[in-house]
């Protein structure tokens, strides 16, 4: 987060030129063959949660008055209601007191270990996911500043705000080449103690003092499916060789700190860095012997466009960008993984979404200058990514992020934090269309489904696709078909493959939700032989229960 990895101008599709939906001319044929299984799905749909102030329990007004966060319960309740797995939690660097447990360098007489500002959001997150017997990915990515020297390898200034909620993007200081302990062992000890506190509830600090009272998440281990991700987006000017070295030093110490492999989580590497890092990191000869576990690697990608307020730019900007990126991802990251020393490493695309132009401009109003239809467009994009990458066997698709916001000064939030990336409405804590698309996919599709041959025919293969689709036989035998409208226009489609009779429709579109709703999925039914009209940027799942399934 915070490093936009893709930015392309929005090329205007003629069919999406109007900001108001207009009816398309002819029905596109969406055909599915439930008798032709192409693969068993391995794909999990999920999200990341970033520790922004909008999720705090208590907020502080400009006059210093503390008050309960008006959206706290609704926001964390929305996360709990998703019932998602492998949910990523990222306490990140703009808030040092929430992301770093030892902010000052230890001395022979004193250490600065302090979890006071870290625990509240971590506890709320774990209650909503881990406490519901769902799996998590913890990414305490921010390394203590004091581990790094200045350009002359001297101890540097590592000041930080006293207010845990003051956004301070200057905390990440010092390059990896100036790590004061080049062996990485001091850094490894920090992360080992951090994990011990979270899992065992205690650790012994640099001076031999025992710290107790940690949350003791004893089920946070690989047997239960939980994961630790090391670092994020190559902060501190890492290169691939340096990252591989530090991974090999840190991970074994973390495993040792909690009592061995059976008590340690699975581990995820790379943290969304350049694809150029994948070949050297997945080359066993570049690792120490024995190599530490590499269970996952992570990848990040965001689309954007040239005009945040003009919906006519969304189709090509979002879908066109991801179409090109997914082709490159398949040819580089996936091909490299498959041919590497670690072909069974799983792929977690744990930051996917849209970052709109100039998103952190503090002069925007409470709606962040985003048209209501934006949320439907961004939600449809995520469904398109699922329809495209599930057939390739990508294991995890993580939508970014639960809650961002514009500035809300009356709530003590004077600066924006990527409002266009939010799945929740920052005024209510309820889900917007992006949230409800994710919930729809979690409820309707799962690893273990049989993905079947599906085709969306529009007669113009050279254009950016205006529809995407994916059919599946779920584990209970139900027939399901996902259809995604890429346009800010009504599109009629003709279903082929369901045969005669009715199908149930579950729909996220502008009629069900845009900005926020307590229920953003609407249901209906119709005869499968009749044309289906898709609203602008609609995401639809047509299904037939196993007892009524017809194979044609």
pLDDT of residue 514: 81
Which residues are CB-neighbours of 94 under 8 A, at least 6 positions away? Answer: 167, 168, 169, 171, 417
Residue 245 domain flag: no
Question: Domain limits at 411?
Answer: 1-47+309-552
Q: How many domains does the chain have?
A: 1
pLDDT tens digits along 144-186: 999 999 999 899 999 999 999 999 999 999 999 999 999 999 9
Long-range pairs, 218-223, Cβ under 8 A, ≥24: 219/130, 220/130, 220/136, 220/138, 220/265, 221/258, 221/262, 221/263, 221/264, 221/265, 222/261, 222/262, 222/264, 222/265, 222/266, 222/293, 222/295, 223/262
Residue-wise pLDDT tens digits, 177-218: 999 999 999 999 999 999 999 999 999 999 999 999 999 999
Q: Among 308, 234, 299, which residue's Cα sits nearest to residue 272?
A: 299
Residue 296: CB atoms within 10 A of its CB come to 22
pLDDT at 522 over 50: yes
Residue 241 lies in a domain: no
Whole-number Å distance between alpha carbons of 536 and 484:
10
* Residue at 529 is within a domain: yes
pLDDT digits (tens, 9 = 90+) for 214-260: 999 999 999 999 999 999 999 999 999 999 999 999 999 999 999 99
- CATH number of 376's domain: 3.20.20
DSSP 205: -
519 occurs within a structural domain: yes
| Overall pTM > 0.85 | yes
Closest CA to 250 of 233, 226, 267, 236: 267
In a domain, 539, yes or no: yes
pLDDT at 509: 98
Query: For 279-319, what is each residue's pLDDT tens digit?
Result: 999 999 999 999 999 999 999 999 999 999 999 999 999 99
Q: Is residue 366 part of a domain?
A: yes
The answer to whether residue 91 sits within a structural domain is no
Decide which of 202 and 516 is more confident: 202
DSSP 217-269: -TT-SGGGT-EEE--STTTTT--HHHHHHHHHHHHHHHHHHTTSGGGSPEEEE
Give, rounded to a whole angstrom, the gap between the first and last alpha carbons of the chain: 46
Cβ(486)–Cβ(315) below 8 Å: yes
Identify whether 177 is part of a domain.
Answer: no
pLDDT score of 552: 54
- Torsions phi, psi of 33, nearest 5? -120, 100
């Amino acid at each position: 987060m915070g490093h936009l990895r893709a930015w392309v101008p929005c090329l205007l599709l003629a069919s999406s030129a109007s900001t108001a939906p207009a009816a398309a001319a002819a029905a596109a044929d969406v055909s599915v063959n439930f008798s032709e299984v192409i693969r068993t799905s391995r794909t999990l749909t999920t999200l990341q949660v970033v520790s922004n102030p909008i999720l705090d329990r208590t907020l502080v007004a400009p006059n210093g008055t503390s008050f309960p966060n008006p959206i706290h319960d609704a926001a964390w309740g929305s996360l709990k209601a998703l019932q998602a797995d492998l949910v990523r939690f990222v306490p990140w660097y703009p808030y040092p007191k929430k992301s770093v447990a030892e902010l000052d360098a230890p001395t022979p007489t004193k250490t600065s270990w302090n979890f006071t500002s870290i625990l509240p959001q971590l506890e709320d997150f774990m209650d909503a996911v881990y406490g519901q017997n769902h799996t998590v990915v913890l990414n305490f990515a921010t390394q203590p500043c004091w581990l790094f020297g200045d350009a002359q390898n001297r101890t540097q200034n590592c000041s930080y705000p006293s207010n845990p909620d003051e956004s301070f993007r200057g905390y990440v200081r010092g390059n990896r080449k100036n790590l004061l302990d080049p062996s990485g062992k001091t850094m490894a000890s920090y992360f080992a103690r951090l994990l011990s506190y979270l899992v065992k509830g205690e650790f012994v600090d640099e001076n031999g003092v025992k710290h107790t009272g940690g949350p003791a998440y004893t089920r946070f281990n690989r047997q239960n499916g939980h994961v630790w991700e090391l670092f994020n987006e190559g902060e501190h000017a890492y290169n691939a060789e340096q990252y591989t070295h530090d991974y090999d030093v840190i991970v074994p110490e973390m495993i040792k700190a909690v009592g061995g492999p059976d008590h340690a989580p699975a581990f995820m590497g790379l943290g969304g860095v350049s694809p150029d890092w994948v070949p050297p990191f997945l080359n066993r000869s570049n690792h120490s012997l024995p190599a530490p576990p590499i269970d996952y690697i992570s990848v990040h990608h965001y689309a954007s466009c040239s005009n945040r307020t003009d919906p006519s730019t969304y189709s090509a900007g979002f879908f066109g960008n991801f179409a090109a990126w997914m082709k490159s991802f398949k040819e580089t990251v996936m091909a490299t993984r498959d041919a590497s020393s670690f072909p069974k490493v799983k792929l977690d695309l744990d930051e996917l979404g849209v970052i709109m132009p100039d998103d952190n401009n503090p002069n925007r109003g409470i709606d962040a200058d985003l048209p209501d239809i934006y949320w439907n467009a961004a939600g449809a994009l995520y469904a398109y990514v699922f329809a495209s990458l599930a057939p390739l066997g990508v294991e995890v698709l993580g939508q970014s992020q639960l809650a961002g916001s514009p500035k809300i000064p009356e709530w003590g939030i004077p600066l924006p934090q990527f409002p266009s990336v939010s799945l929740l409405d920052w005024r209510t804590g309820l889900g917007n269309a992006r949230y409800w698309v994710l919930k729809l996919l979690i409820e309707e599709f799962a690893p273990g489904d049989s993905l079947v041959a599906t085709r969306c025919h529009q007669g113009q293969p050279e254009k950016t696709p205006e529809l995407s689709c994916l059919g599946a036989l779920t584990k209970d035998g139900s027939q399901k078909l996902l259809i995604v409208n890429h346009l800010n226009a009504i599109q009629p489609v003709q279903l082929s493959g369901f045969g005669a009779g009715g199908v149930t429709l579950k729909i996220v579109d502008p009629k069900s939700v845009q900005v926020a709703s307590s229920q953003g999925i609407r249901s209906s039914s119709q005869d499968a032989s009749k044309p289906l009209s898709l609203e602008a940027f609609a995401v639809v799942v047509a299904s037939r229960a196993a007892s009524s399934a017809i194979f044609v």
